[in-house]
Structure 1
C-alpha cells in the first residue's frame, strides 16, 4: 500500500534531516515493483480494464499518430536538419503528468497526445506496455548482450508539498515511479545534477545532461522523467567489407559521398505508390527497424501526409522478399524544448496560468497553482553494420503558476524516414528522419 501523504511528509522530513543528499532523496516506497492493473482511487474513471491486445493496439496506434505529428511539427521548424525523437518516452512522461490534470487541461492533453483510453484504464495499458517491453529485454547492460530494451520512470517532488495520495499511488502502481523528495527552493542546482545522473545511468551515459543548467529553479515543484535505452544486433548483420562510399542527395539537392552498408537477403518489403519500405529485424525478432524511402522528389509531400493509417497500410503490404538493401551508416543526436510544439499540437492550457493540475496536489493547501513549465527531450541513435543503439529521455517540469516475386533493389540515397517498433505491442519506440546523411556520419 502506498504511504499516506502524512506518512510521506513525515518520512521525507526525517530523511532530509539526515542530509543524505543535497538535491533529492528517495524513492519513498521500499517496493517499486507494484503489480499492474490494480484499482487505485483518485484518477477520474477508476475502471481499469485488463490491458489486452486490443487496448495495447489502440494505445500504440495513438502513440504513433502523436509521434508522427510531433516529428512533422519539429521538421517544419528545421526542414534541413536530421531529427530523432522517442514518441514513447514523451508520451509516458506526459501520461504521468496527465494523471494529475483536470478539466480543460486534461481534455486538451488527451486529444493532443492521442490517448485512446481515460483514467486508470489508460494508465493500466501504459503499465502493461511497460511490462511487455521489459519482458523483451535481453539482460544486463554490456556490449556483448545482443538485445537490450529498458524503460524507467521517476518523479521528483518538492519536499513538504501537499501531493495527493491518489496521484502518487497511480504513478507508483502503473509506472513504478516512486516519489523522490527534492528541495528545489534552495537546492535546485543539486537537484538538476541528481536527476541528470539518474538519466545518464539509465541511458548508458548516452544522455548526460537532459536538464541544462538553470533549467530548474525555486518555483519548480515537480519533475517527471522517463528514460528509454535500446541496443540490438541485426538478425542479419551487414558485412563491413561490403560498406562503400556512395553518393547521397540531401533535401537541398547537395550531394555527398557517405558510407553505405549493403546486403542481399530476404526481408519484409513493399512498394506502395512508388514508395519503398523495408523492415530490418533485430536479434529475437520482436523489434525491427522500418525504413521508408519515398518516391524520388516527393519526400516533403509524403512526410506531411504520413499518418498512422498510411503507416499501417505500408506495414500491412509488406511480405518477405529476396532483395538488396543499401543503407547509410548514420548517427543522429537531437535535443528539443517542446512546450511551443505541444501547445501548437493542441494542449496550450497545460502551459498557461489557467492550467488545472488539481489532481496532483491539494491546491488550497499549497496556496498556489501549477502549470507545465517545460518539456525537455533528448535522443540519440547510431546505426552501423552490427546493429542499432538508441536512447531517449524526457523530463516534464511542473512549476508554480506469400508468392515468389522478383528481387527488389532499394538504395537509400536520398532523404528517408525510419522508426523502431516493438512488434508484439506495435509500440513505436523511436522515430526519425535523415535528410542529410553527410551530417549524420559517425566518422
Structure 2
C-alpha cells in the first residue's frame, strides 16, 4: 500500500511539473509574439521615411535575427536589445519563446510557411559553446565556416542558401563588397509564405480601375472584385476600415487597413505606432462585404541600419558588448543589417518571402448590393499577414503598404 501511495505521489509530481513547464513555454511565446508585434510599426515607420511608395518587409524576420544576436550580447548591450525588442533579458526565456514560435510556424497546415536561421562564422574563429547551443537548439540555426576574405565565394554561399530557403524569391541578398577580412560573422534569417485564399477571387471579374495616389491623381490598377462573408469593421479611433481575408488555414490571414480619407495613410501609420496589432481585429464582425482589392507585386531592398538606430539600437553599430558570440577577446560591432522582401497578391492568394542579414565585423575601426458594406481599396492602404498562434498570441510575419503604381 505504501508503495502504491509513493508511486501515485511521484506520478502527481511529474504531472504538475509538466503543467508548469507548458505554462512557462506558453508565457514566453506570448512575450515573444507581443514583442514582435510592438516592434513591427516602430520599425516600419522609420523604414517608410526613406521608402515612401510601395513597401513590404518582414518584421518577424528582423525581430528573430536580432533576438539571435542578442543571445551573444552582454551587459548594457543585452539590456538595450531586450528593451527595444521587448523580449526577456534572461536569455533562456527568450530562447524558449523563439523555439516555440519557430516550431509552430514551421508546422502550420494548409499553407506553406517556412522560417530558418543560419550563422556563418569566419573560418579561423570559434563560436562560444553557450551561443552555439542556443542558436542550434532554440533558433534551429546551422553554423557554417566561411573564408570571408574570399568575398565572391562567401557571398555566393550565403545567397545560395537564402535563395533555396525562399524558393528563389530572394536573390543576391548580400554583395561581395560587404564582406572582407574584418568580417567575423554573418547571421541570416529567411522566411517564405505561400497560401491560397479560403475564398478565391474570380479572374473574370478583375477589371482596370482607378487607384488614387492622392486626391487629384490616380493610376490604373488591376482591381479584383468579390462579394463574400468576411470579418470587417470600421475603426473610429484609426478612422479606417479593416477587413480580414482568411487563407485556407483560417488561423492565417491577411489584414487590410484602409484609411477612410484618400490622403489618410500617413496619419494612419502614426496612429498605429503604439497600437497593439494583436488587438486590431478584435472588434471585427462577420458580414457580407463588397470587396475590391488591387492585384500587386512588390519587392523591397531595405538598409535597416538607420531605422534600427532610430528605434534605440544605435549602440550595436558603435561599441556594443558582443562578447558572448565568439571565443577570444576581439571587439565586435554590427556593420550592416539588410533585408530583401517580396510579396505578390492575386486572385488565388499570396506569396511572400524575406531575408534579413546581420554582418558582424571586428573593429580596428463590384456587385449591386447597396445594403452591404463596401471595402473599396482605391487609395493607399496598409496590409499584413497575421498568424494566430493561440487565443492570446498572434505573429505578424509580413507588413507593408500599397501606394499604387507609378506611371512610366
SS at match of 1:214: helix
Are 2:64 and 1:101 aligned? no
Partner of 1:355: 320
Partner of 2:56: 84
> Is the CA contact (8 Å cut-off) linking 1:278 and 1:290 kept in structure 2?
yes
Residues in 2 aligned to 1:74 and 1:252: alpha-carbon distance in whole angstroms: 24
> Is the CA contact (8 Å cut-off) linking 2:56 and 2:398 kept in structure 1?
yes
Q: CA 1:124/1:313 → structure 2, altered by over 3 Å: closer, same or farther?
A: closer
Partner of 2:32: 59
Q: Which residue, 248, 260, 270 being the options, matches 2:211?
A: 248
Are 2:405 and 1:438 aligned? yes
Are 2:399 and 1:399 aligned? no
- RMSD (CA atoms): 1.9
Which TM-score applies when normalising by structure 2?
A: 0.88
Q: CA deviation at 1:50?
A: 5.7
Deviations 1:371-430 (A, max 9, x none): 1111110000000000000000011111102xxxx6211100001000001112410000
Q: CA 1:106/1:382 → structure 2, altered by over 3 Å: closer, same or farther?
A: same
Residues in 1 aligned to 2:67 and 2:204: alpha-carbon distance in whole angstroms: 45
> Is the CA contact (8 Å cut-off) linking 1:275 and 1:292 kept in structure 2?
yes
> Is the CA contact (8 Å cut-off) linking 1:280 and 1:290 kept in structure 2?
yes
Partner of 1:136: 108
> Is the CA contact (8 Å cut-off) linking 1:49 and 1:121 kept in structure 2?
no
SS at match of 1:192: helix
Give structure 1 stretches of 5+ with no counterpart.
1-47, 139-146
How many residue pairs match? The answer is: 375
Deviations 1:210-233 (A, max 9, x none): 102311111000011110000111
* Aligned ranges 1:178-257 → 2 under 5 Å: 178-185=142-149, 187-251=150-214, 253-257=216-220
* Aligned ranges 1:403-442 → 2 under 5 Å: 407-424=372-389, 425-435=393-403, 437-439=404-406
> Is the CA contact (8 Å cut-off) linking 1:104 and 1:349 kept in structure 2?
no
Q: CA deviation at 1:175?
A: 1.1
* Aligned ranges 1:271-350 → 2 under 5 Å: 271-273=234-236, 274-296=239-261, 297-307=263-273, 309=275, 311-350=277-316
Residues in 2 aligned to 1:329 and 1:217: alpha-carbon distance in whole angstroms: 41
* Aligned ranges 1:115-154 → 2 under 5 Å: 115-116=87-88, 118-138=90-110, 147-154=111-118
Residues in 2 aligned to 1:310 and 1:97: alpha-carbon distance in whole angstroms: 25
> Is the CA contact (8 Å cut-off) linking 1:137 and 1:150 kept in structure 2?
no
Give structure 2 stretches of 5+ with no counterpart.
1-20, 364-370
SS at match of 2:48: helix
Deviations 1:107-138 (A, max 9, x none): 22222223256311001101100000111044
> Is the CA contact (8 Å cut-off) linking 2:47 and 2:304 kept in structure 1?
no
> Is the CA contact (8 Å cut-off) linking 1:332 and 1:440 kept in structure 2?
no
Q: CA 1:255/1:317 → structure 2, altered by over 3 Å: closer, same or farther?
A: same
Q: CA 1:73/1:251 → structure 2, altered by over 3 Å: closer, same or farther?
A: farther
SS at match of 2:78: helix
